[in-house]
A and B are shown apart, each in its own frame.
Chain A
Amino acid sequence: MIFAAIKLSLRKNSARAYIIGASLAAMSACSPPPSTKVLIDTATLSFLDSYKSFSIASQELATATAEYCQSPNNAPQFELARTKWKDAAKQWSSIQNIQFGPLMVDNQAWKIQFWPDKKNLIARKVESLLKENGPITQQRVDEASVVVQGLSSLEYLLFDNKAGTPQRYIDELGQRRCELLVAVSEHLHTVSAELYNNWRIDGGNYLSTFSKTGDKNPEFPDDNVAIAYLLDTLVSGIELIKRDKLERPLGISGTGQETEARPAQTQVYQLEWWRSQYSKDAIITNLIALKGIFNANEGYGIDDYLREVKQQGELSDNINKAFQQSIAAASAIDGSLFEIANKPERRQAILSLHAELTNLLALLRNDLPTVLGVSLGFNSKDGD
């Protein structure tokens, strides 16, 4: 980031070029090794930024639901709450795949998203909480099951075609429904703000834990171990999209082969965000975020590290190309996954995305670990 700022000021003000050039030279003398640069830039430009955006989006969602519940007859305000939910779900998609740090402590991710919900627990638990006595507060939501917390519960309250309509907020139990909507939104904001705080330098400073590796570091004894977690994030992120977001709900076999003789056995209620039909958008954001992690967005990422340190520019380009093609394939799907899942004539677009993901995953899982000198799992791959 400092370098980017200096580059910018160089362009802006050439008169200061000499001084800046001199300080740049001085800085490069003590600049961190490339592997550390990867960690610093990925953490700062990708992770910290994503947590911040998610925290802000959750706050805006909480504000929107609170305002709506001031006047539940205000239909446009209900629509605004839905839009803000989508913004928050989108920002969450940038974080969802991160495989380490504060998100993994005490299963924070489950407080944000309960999925897949195979037994329709969200509807059951939310409705039973509504029938209980006593005020519904943020604390009560916090103490309740994760099933009634987070974006999943809010999706039910805002989008379910029976429970998530404006009419339900005007009905006799409407006020109570509003209480829950507001309390869950506030709780989500608290969870997201805490995650962001845990990463911030002036908070839990996980940023430093991740980027300053070494003997004293409790989690990351050297840069390689930290880079291994980045690799895990990329690999398991693509695996999650391919397997949990496509194959399982849409009945796609691992190879992606389909014939007319054997129609796919879909389970559309296991699609992520089926109620809001936001599944495809979430996948696109996942892919953009994972690409951002690979590249440390505009900073010095694994892509640069591969090119400059490992002399693997071609692999770096291939991975970026595979990301780009996956994003393009996802964007090319017309309609929501929920809508087209059972229409054989429209499934080809989904299968094309699946094929792109298979290609991307092969690069990340087979080629990247070897080049980075990182094992994807010694005991996990071949234990006993």
Chain B
Amino acid sequence: MHRRHFLIASSALLCAPAAIIARRELRVTEKQGNEFSPVLSAASDSSGNRIGVWQADSWQYSQPIQHRGHDSFFHRQRQELLFFSRRPGRELYVVDARNGSVLHDIQSEDGYHYYGHGCVSADGRYLYTTENNIHDDGAGCIGVYDCEQNYRCIGHMDCEGIGPHDLALMPDGDTLVIAIGGIKTLPSRGRTTLNPDSLAPALHYLDLSSQRVIEKVPAPHFQLSLRHLDVSPDGSVLVGAQFQGKLPSEKPLVYLHRRGQALYAMNTAGLALHFQRDYIASVSIDDHGEWAVTSCPRDNMVCLWNMQSQSLAQVWTVRDCAGAVYDAAYQQFILSNGDGQLLALVPGKRTLTQLAYSAGTHWDNHLTLRV
């Protein structure tokens, strides 16, 4: 809306009879239905760390875990929920989606730990997780688990990059796209970056049949750690970066990639994006590949991107907002934050609406839909 129109509209509203104002409020209330699909998330509260499914205004089921969780995955074919530990955690929980009971409590193989993300093959048979091969001096790899054999680890694939983080299955069903963060850590040294001067962040495509990396796309800058991504139905990949050098870098942090091409920096379209801490947490694209959301918790910002014009559409201020997932049933993105809020972002709508609130709950980095 143009400012002048807004001013006219608001001044007209001021002069309007009370009845009109009341009716307007009613309409807004009706539109503010806070329905949303159930979400999987890790969280922390006064009792400690937790994983589970949140539905409407409470946990449908949840359970405490020893370490902090990170991302999760809904295995639709098996109706199982997979929760991955945050690095350098070694736990992977498989939960029955119907009742929340823990079916398996998997440990990474000796000498490996998880990076917090995973996805499954098109037929649902195999689970792929990003892992650190500690004994190979922190080389990155993809763990392969047989879901039909109690998630037994059947091997590791070389992803040819240090610090693989988020990953997803491409629409062809044969290829994994992996965000290579480039940061080398070893559990003996905690979360300290051991290779600050020689990071090699990139986007790698791994062919599942040959188990080989078939395309490598380096990040535009060695300190631009590519960490989280999502894939559009047409195979476009949107990837978010976290800058590892002096802040602010003033570099673009969100890139689009299509196979065979270079990374394309999403256009901020004259909307000034004033990052201080250069940190993208979650990336989520809607089901039609029209809109995408990136969360920037260190800058208390959420960005909506137009995938067709490859440009920034809108920016909101939300404290400590990290989780973001598209909820097709209600045509909205669901956001979560460290203040216990779940919020709805509807493209084209000026304001966010609150879906749920849990005082004292800190939603952890990522959200997954259970539909």
Contact = CB atoms under 8 A, between A and B. Distances in A.
Interface of A: 99-100, 104-107, 110, 114, 118, 139, 142, 145-146, 190-191, 194, 197, 202-204, 215, 217-219, 221-222, 224-225, 228-229, 232, 375, 377-380, 383-384
A378 B281 CA distance: 12
Contacts of B87: 384
A217 B29 CA distance: 11
B191 to A, nearest CB: 9
Interface string B294-337: 00011010000000000000111101111000000000000001
Given A218-B352, A375-B362, A107 B315 contact: yes
Interface stretch (B2-10, B134-142, B143-151, B254-262): B2-10
B354 A218 contact: yes
A217 to B, nearest CB: 8
B91 interface: no
A190 B362 CA distance: 39
B270 interface: yes
Given A105-B316, A194-B7, 14 more contacts: A104-B316, A114-B272, A118-B250, A145-B270, A146-B272, A218-B351, A221-B354, A222-B357, A232-B300, A377-B297, A379-B321, A379-B337, A380-B320, A383-B365
B317 A378 contact: no
Q: Nearest 10 A-B pairs (CB), nearest first?
A: A378-B338, A379-B322, A221-B357, A378-B362, A104-B317, A379-B297, A380-B297, A110-B272, A380-B298, A377-B320
Of the candidates B6, B250, B272, B351, the one having the most CB atoms from chain A within 10 angstroms of its own CB is B272
B14 A203 contact: yes
Instruction: Name, among B281, B298, B339, the residue most crowded by chain A CB atoms within 10 Å (CB to CB).
Output: B339
Nearest to B250: A118
B272 A107 contact: yes
A229 B14 contact: no
Contact of A99 (B44, B300, B354, B362): B300
Contacts of B7: 190, 194, 197
B205 interface: no
Contact of B10 (A105, A107, A114, A203): A203
Contacts of B364: 378-379
Given A194-B7, A383-B297, A384-B86, A377 B319 contact: yes
Nearest to B318: A219
B108 interface: no
A219 B321 CA distance: 13
Nearest to B280: A383
Contact of A204 (B10, B272, B274, B359): B10
A229 B365 contact: no
Given A221-B341, A221-B357, A378 B6 contact: no
Nearest to A115: B274
B32 interface: yes
> B-side binding surface: helix, strand, loop or mixed?
mixed
B83 interface: no
B269 to A, nearest CB: 11
Contacts of B14: 202-203
Contact of B298 (A99, A194, A203, A377): A377
Contacts of A384: 70, 86-87, 115-116, 165, 227, 365
A229 B3 contact: no
Nearest to A378: B338
26 contacts: A100-B317, A104-B316, A105-B316, A106-B314, A107-B271, A107-B272, A118-B250, A194-B7, A202-B14, A203-B14, A218-B351, A218-B352, A218-B353, A221-B341, A222-B359, A224-B359, A225-B339, A232-B319, A375-B320, A377-B297, A377-B319, A378-B364, A380-B277, A383-B322, A384-B86, A384-B365
Contact of A378 (B271, B279, B320, B357): B320
Contacts of B340: 221, 225
B30 to A, nearest CB: 13
Contact of B338 (A100, A203, A377): A377
B356 to A, nearest CB: 9
A257 B55 CA distance: 53
Contacts of B315: 106-107
Contact of B6 (A104, A194, A383): A194
Contact of A228 (B115, B165, B339): B339
Contacts of A217: 354
Nearest to A138: B4
B301 to A, nearest CB: 9
Contact of B319 (A139, A218, A229, A383): A229
A380 B86 contact: no
A221 B3 contact: no
A225 B365 contact: no
B104 to A, nearest CB: 23
Given A219-B354, A379-B364, A383-B279, A142 B3 contact: yes
Contact of A221 (B4, B297, B359): B359
A380 B70 CA distance: 14
Interface in B215-268: 227, 250
Contacts of B341: 221, 225
Contacts of A146: 270, 272
Contacts of A191: 3
